[in-house]
Amino acid sequence: MSFLVVARSGRARAGILETPHGPVETPVFMPVGTRATVRGLQPHELEDAGAQILLANAYHLFLRPGDELIRDLGGLHGFTTWERPWLTDSGGFQVFSLDDLVKVTDQGVRFRSPVDGIYHFLEPEDSIRIQNNLGADIIMAFDECVRLPAEAERVRRAVDRTILWARRSRDAHRREDQLLFGITQGGTDPEERERCTRALLEIDFPGYAIGGLSVGEDRAAMLRTVEQSTEMLPEDKPRYFMGIGKPEDLLDAITRGVDMFDCVIGTRNGRNATLFTSEGVLHMRNRKFMRDERPPDPACDCACCRRYSRAYLRHLYKADELLALILGSLHNTHYLVQFVRRIREAILNGTFPQSINSPGGSGS
């Protein structure tokens, strides 16, 4: 298990991350399969879209169907039949998003399950044990994420806990065939972000995620924090920006030296008739597409764009047909995966960024 940077263009870089289930070529966009499935898409469709690695969430799988059941049925790879790499999130963000259902202490988090109302107490050791059972190739340390804007004292306490829990996560990790990444926090406060990053570097994780962004801050502050973070993170280890997926954000983060990304925006937008295309964002319920015989994106070779017209896709959305949700999710997943792949190829060819068209605007 190793990471090698093979080409650079400014701060942008192309690399290869070796895992037990095959290499991951970076930069890479990882479709989100929260409950061990990318909603609406089968494994072979994800493979056709070019997906190299999927993300699942330890919190959701702990609640249902249970991490021990998945372990007994072959881990995520055997359970889902996705034999390429998996990454699991620690569940920290999902737990803290419950707000009034959560009580946080330095020991861990007490929360009430939204599935059955039962109370659970989750410690860093529990999160790691769950992820060890799930068997993903890459797992994440337990951390505390704060919604922004937040008071300085709230950010400081979250950084304290994130550092404490990172050490406990490292000590609890039991599998040598899983890469454990640390997650930096600190909001957009430069001093707190630096304090957290320095402390995690001392623990010496094999990879680092930039967490606690895209949670309410303005875009300029987000990009400043990304730039600060990548300047501090090691050159020989992968950098993962958690939870962004808009094409313009992916491009700007890669330009600043980030390697890995995940977001639900592709499938979520696809279910809501919003498609990313080389011509900008298309809102497929728009009346102007009623007689439009062109594919959703003439520059795209996904199964949706190879076969169907904008007029037909609009009809499916207007009629609330299930096929619309599937085709929209398939196209957006393909678009985001291939958009990042094209950036990688441009870095390798020495034509980045000039050969990459800026993503379209808000669309029509």
So which residues are the catalytic ones?
89, 262
* Listed residue (259, 200, 202) closest to 235, CA to CA: 259
Q: How far apart are CA 188 and CA 218, in angstroms?
A: 10
Q: What is the 3-state secondary structure (H, E, C) of the chain?
A: CCEEEEEEECCEEEEEEEECCEEEEECEEEEECCCCCCCCCCHHHHHHHCCCCEEEEHHHHHHCCCHHHHHHCCHHHHHHCCCCCEEEECCHHHHHCCHHHEEECCCCEEEECCCCCCEEEECHHHHHHHHHHHCCCEEECCCCCCCCCCCHHHHHHHHHHHHHHHHHHHHHCCCCCCEEEEEECCCCCHHHHHHHHHHHHHHCCCCEEECCCCCCCCHHHHHHHHHHHHHHCCCCCCEEEECCCCHHHHHHHHHCCCCEEEECHHHHHHHCCEEEECCEEEECCCHHHCCCCCCCCCCCCCHHHHHCCHHHHHHHHHCCCHHHHHHHHHHHHHHHHHHHHHHHHHHHHCCCCCCCCCCCCCCC
Query: Within 13 Å, how many C-alpha atoms sit on residue 292's CB side?
Result: 19
Query: Which residues touch 165 (CB under 8 Å, ≥6 apart)?
Result: 124, 141, 142, 143, 144
Residue 202: CB atoms within 10 Å: 10
